[in-house]
Amino acid sequence: MGDRILHVEDINVYYGAIHAIKDVSFEVSEGEIVALIGANGAGKSTTLKTLSGLLRSATGAIEFMGESIMHAQPDRLVAKGLAHVPEGRRVFQQMTVEENLEMGAYTRPGSEIAPGLERVYAHFPRLKERRRQVSGTLSGGEQQMLAMGRALMSSPKLLMLDEPSMGLAPILIEQIFDIVRELHEAGTTILLVEQNAQMALSIATRGYVMETGRVTLSGTGRELLENDDVRKAYLGG
Ligand SMILES: Nc1ncnc2c1ncn2[C@@H]1O[C@H](COP(=O)(O)OP(=O)(O)O)[C@@H](O)[C@H]1O
Ligand SMILES: [Mg+2]
């Protein structure tokens, strides 16, 4: 593995009186796919929102590319190479596919838009076919592809995906995971949040299990897939 690009140490995040993230620590190195798995409400999305500057930790440290990002603004973080595809794939519904993708490059010089589009269309030929289509009329799977493509337009050093498989039919879930694997093979480092533990751990280099705001287990993807507690709780025995 390459250098450590994300280091999270002892973060605690609150929503008013609700203590959502409790002493969470983990790291991501260049070239990895790191999976963060756990049941609904475990704190996965809150963790990603904290990394991308939408929420703040009351304690600890978050370092990205060797610098503290505890107090950085979200747009600065995108410019620094941290891209977040949120849960529920929010794309601009009234814009076309290509306009959405162009928006994703807002932190980059204009000269990067055309090569960026080419790169995204190579991974998502479906988006190329539909590039003049208004995004609100895309299927759920296509909107997920668009949200991922838009994030890739910022040329991220770390791509954070929040439940890309949520609400999709099994065949589309397979397609989305194939694309995640392809992006990884093409050199993208990925932090993958999923409730679909089987799929996530089967492509992950390493993983962390979250339960009620804490990291309770970690290991390689394979170790976690074979772990009895993980099997019982997340893999149906
Ligand atoms: N905006 C919010 N206000 C209050 N509590 C929240 C909010 N968002 C999430 N929570 C709570 O924080 C905890 C973690 O939620 P979340 O990070 O969304 O979990 P996950 O993504 O793992 O399903 C849950 O108990 C959830 O109810
Ligand atoms: Mg979530």
- Ligand found nearest the CA of 162: 2
Q: pLDDT grade, residue 231 (50/70/90)?
A: very high
Give the number of the atom of ligand 1 that is nearest the alpha carbon of residue 42: 22
Segment 170-192 mean pLDDT: 94
Locate all alpha helices (DSSP H) within the chain, ordered by sequence. Answer: 44-51, 74-80, 97-104, 113-123, 125-129, 140-152, 170-185, 197-203, 221-226, 228-234
The label of the residue with tokens 């390689």 reads 220
Collapsing DSSP to helix, strand or coil, 200 comes out as helix
Q: Of 34-38, 51-55, 84-88, where does mean pLDDT reach its minimum?
A: 84-88
Give the number of the atom of ligand 1 that is nearest the alpha carbon of residue 38: 22
Q: How high is the pLDDT of residue 1?
A: 61
Burial class (CB in 10 A: 0-12, 13-18, 19+), 216: middle
Please tell me the distance between residue 44's alpha carbon and the centre of ligand 2 in angstroms: 5
Q: pLDDT at residue 235 above 90? A: no
**Ligand 1, CB within 6 Å, residue ranges:** 15, 18, 20, 38, 40-46
Average pLDDT in the chain: 95
CA angle in degrees (0–180, nearest 5) for 70-184-53: 15
On whether the pTM is more than 0.85, the answer is yes
